[in-house]
Amino acid sequence: MGVQAIYNTYLSQLSFEERLELIRLLAGEPMVIAAPPTPQVPLYDVMDFAGVGQNYVMEEGAQYHVDQLREEWE
């Protein structure tokens, strides 16, 4: 049954005060509009990152790099 049919059948017979009370009751209810679920598609495949870090291979090793960063902080 649609909203217009409900109004015509039931609500049009209400007094002005009853309609105001109905409006107050309806306005006090939270409206929850559920969005349709979206499929969870990953943005990237792990294989998209193959070879990304090849240009950043450090020849001197990780500890040397960490030591250099710590010296810059001091």
Q: Tokens standing for 45? A: 């495949």
Of 20-24, 49-53, 69-73, least confident by mean pLDDT is 49-53
- What are 5-15's pLDDT values in tens digits? 888 888 889 89
Mean pLDDT over 37-55 rounds to 81
Q: Around Cβ 14, how many Cβ atoms within 10 Å?
A: 13
Confidence of residue 58 (pLDDT cuts 50, 70, 90): low
Confidence of residue 56 (pLDDT cuts 50, 70, 90): low
Q: Is the CA virtual torsion 15, 17, 22, 27 positive or negative?
A: positive
- pLDDT confidence of residue 42: 82
Q: Tokens standing for 10? A: 């039931």
Judged on CB neighbours under 10 Å (0-12, 13-18, 19+), 70 is: exposed
